[in-house]
């Protein structure tokens, strides 16, 4: 019985499960669940996994409506993001494990509206790029299988709690072009969507579960939530330079984030170690945080995706890949959008750029 496949299918790409697919700036602090079935490891051991995630965001949404004109007139913002996650897990026994996750992030952002300032007004005729590279926010977590693995062989529930550290640079700077005196370039903070960290110490909770209907067919579910008590990190956005109406968006918020996955997995009896999975995936940033304030600048929103995935396990090595394809994207109204709506007497909601899909792939080793 390929018991290990069940949970591995549930955890595909979990090393970078909560990662933005565009300007909805979900930071890298992956929800790495323990990639070992409880019945497969009853003794202490280590597991190392490395995984990568790539996407290109360029489709602008305000609410659920896409602004297709941005593509026609080439005014869209384009983000390229590549993330490498390094996760080390210590398995204590068939119930307990501890994990540390370190993301390495490389971002590039191309836009018109952030460059080309003439006589105090952005003429939006010059496309330039800004970049960021470095370590993101490191996360440590502890996991426990809640049911006795010896008695609960067909299904189990794993609970995880952790802390997310503010190790990623949340005031990363690069050169903006033609924004300084006499049209010179100026070193400024890059956009929130390509900052390496969010600037807050957060707390995470996870729930991972599976159930086998047969030895090679079952269901999985994953839930992850990051609570960031800090309201804002003091980093300037420069949005107030675009228009005085954005004065209350001058400082970056430190938002919560979440991810939910659920689906089916199937392992092949005639191809040892191979399994496929497919399910739904929801990830996003809420309008209001669970703890602390929710003001200043954030782009809240969420993405519903269909996520097919493949797994191949051989001895102590596991290969995994998934491609979540966006089906539904919604850039919701932020707290500052609501404040501006009251001030101006009209409905205000910003936009955000989303990707069509993301590519996740990785490998893990048990030793």
**Which of residues 178 and 296 earns the better pLDDT score?**
296
DSSP 237-303: --GGGT-GGGGGGSEEE---EEEEEEEEEEE-SSSTTEEEEEEEEEEEE-SS-SSS---SB---EEE
Q: Tell me, what CATH number does 198's domain have?
A: 2.40.128.130
pLDDT at 21 (0 to 100)? 53
Where residue 80 falls among pLDDT bands split at 50, 70, 90?
Answer: very high
Q: What confidence tens digit (pLDDT) does each residue in 261-278 have?
A: 999 999 998 888 999 999
What does the pLDDT average to over 329-356? 94
Closest CA to 54 of 14, 105, 88, 11: 105
Percent of the chain with pLDDT over 90: 74
pTM assigned to the model? 0.90
* Burial zone of 174 (CB within 10 Å; 0-12 exposed, 13-18 middle, 19+ buried): buried
Q: What confidence tens digit (pLDDT) does each residue in 292-326 have?
A: 999 999 999 999 999 999 999 998 999 999 999 99
**Whole-angstrom Cα distance, residue 252 to residue 240?**
12
pLDDT at 246 (0 to 100)? 86
Looking at the structure of the chain, the number of domains it has is 1
Burial 231-261, CB ≥16 within 10 A → b, else e:
bbbebebbbbbeeeebebbbbbbbbbbbbbb
pLDDT at 156 (0 to 100)? 96
**Whole-angstrom Cα distance, residue 349 to residue 247?**
15
Name the residue range of residue 16's domain.
Answer: 3-366
Closest CA to 231 of 296, 141, 303: 296
- For the chain, percent helix, then strand, then coil, each to nearest 5? 10, 50, 35
Residue 119 has pLDDT above 70, yes or no: no
Listed in order, strand segments (DSSP E) in 292-332 are 301-314, 317-322, 325-331
**What does pLDDT average to over the chain?**
88
Closest CA to 27 of 137, 188, 112: 137
Q: What confidence tens digit (pLDDT) does each residue in 188-243 have?
A: 999 999 999 999 999 999 999 999 999 899 999 999 999 999 999 999 999 988 88
Closest CA to 23 of 344, 316, 237: 237
**Which of residues 85 and 4 earns the better pLDDT score?**
85
- Per the CB < 8 A criterion, the answer to whether 4 and 34 are in contact is no
**Which of residues 285 and 5 earns the better pLDDT score?**
285
**Which of residues 367 and 103 earns the better pLDDT score?**
103
- Per the CB < 8 A criterion, the answer to whether 347 and 339 are in contact is no
């Amino acid at each position: 019985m390929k018991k290990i496949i069940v949970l591995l299918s549930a955890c595909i790409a979990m090393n970078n499960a909560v990662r933005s697919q565009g300007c909805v700036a979900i930071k890298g602090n992956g929800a790495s669940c323990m990639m070992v079935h409880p019945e497969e490891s009853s003794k202490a051991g280590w597991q190392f996994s490395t995984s990568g995630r790539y996407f290109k965001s360029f489709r602008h949404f305000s609410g659920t409506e896409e602004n297709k004109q941005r593509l026609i007139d080439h005014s869209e913002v384009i983000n390229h993001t590549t993330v490498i996650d390094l996760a080390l897990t210590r398995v204590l026994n068939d119930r307990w494990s501890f994990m540390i996750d370190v993301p390495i992030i490389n971002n590039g952002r191309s836009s018109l509206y952030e460059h080309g300032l003439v006589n105090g007004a952005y003429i939006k005729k010059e496309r330039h790029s800004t970049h960021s590279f470095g370590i993101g926010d490191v996360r440590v977590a502890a996991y426990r299988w809640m049911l006795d693995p010896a008695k609960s062989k067909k299904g189990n529930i794993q609970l995880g709690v952790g802390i997310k550290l503010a190790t990623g640079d949340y005031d990363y700077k690069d050169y903006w072009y033609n924004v300084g005196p006499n049209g010179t370039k100026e070193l400024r903070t890059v956009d929130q969507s390509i900052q390496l960290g969010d600037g807050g110490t957060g707390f995470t909770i996870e729930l991972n579960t599976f159930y086998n209907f047969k030895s090679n067919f079952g269901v999985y579910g994953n839930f992850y939530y990051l609570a960031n008590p800090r309201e804002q990190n003091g980093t300037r956005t420069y949005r107030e330079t675009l228009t005085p109406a954005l004065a209350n968006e001058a400082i970056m918020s430190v938002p919560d984030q979440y991810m939910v996955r659920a689906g089916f997995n199937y392992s092949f009896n005639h191809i040892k170690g191979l399994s496929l999975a497919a399910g739904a995936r929801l990830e996003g940033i809420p309008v209001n945080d669970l703890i602390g304030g929710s003001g200043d600048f954030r782009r809240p929103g969420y993405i519903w995706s269909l996520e097919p995935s493949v797994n191949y396990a051989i001895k102590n090595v596991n290969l995994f890949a998934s491609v979540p394809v966006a089906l539904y994207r919604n850039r919701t109204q932020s707290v500052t959008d609501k404040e501006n709506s009251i001030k101006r007497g009209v409905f205000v909601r910003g936009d955000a750029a989303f990707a069509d899909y993301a590519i996740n792939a990785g490998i893990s080793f048990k030793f």
